[in-house]
Amino acid sequence: MAYFDSTFVSNRTTLRQRLARFLETPFDRRYRQRTARIEALRAMSDAELADCGIAREDILLHVFAGKA
């Protein structure tokens, strides 16, 4: 009997992901970087954001104003 562990997560990138990165335009790269920055800021607590001088409602303004 075979056993499959569904909790295993591979960190390896697929061929499709590598090809997409290879063909990525500067606009795609900037979008990906901004999205990652927004997700990172949204994951922070209000206290951590306050330490950085950012209010939760100003996250998008902070990232798109180029202050990130």
pLDDT for 3-36, tens place per residue? 666 676 667 888 998 998 889 899 999 999 999 9
Q: What is the mean pLDDT of residues 35-47?
A: 95
Would you say residue 57 lies in a domain?
Answer: yes
Question: Does the pLDDT value for residue 49 go beyond 90?
Answer: yes
- Residue 56 in any domain: the answer is yes
Residues 34 and 56: their CA atoms lie apart, in Å, by 16
Of 18 and 68, more confident:
18
Residue 62, SS3 per DSSP: helix
Tokens representing residue 53 in the block: 């001088």
Parent domain of 60: 44-68
What is the Cα–Cα distance from 62 to 41, expressed in whole angstroms? 10
Number of domains in the chain: 1
pTM for the full predicted model: 0.66
Instruction: Dump the DSSP string for 9-33.
Output: ---PPPHHHHHHHHT--HHHHHHHH
Mean residue pLDDT across the chain: 87
Residue 6 domain-assigned (yes or no): no
On whether residue 17 sits in a domain, the answer given is no
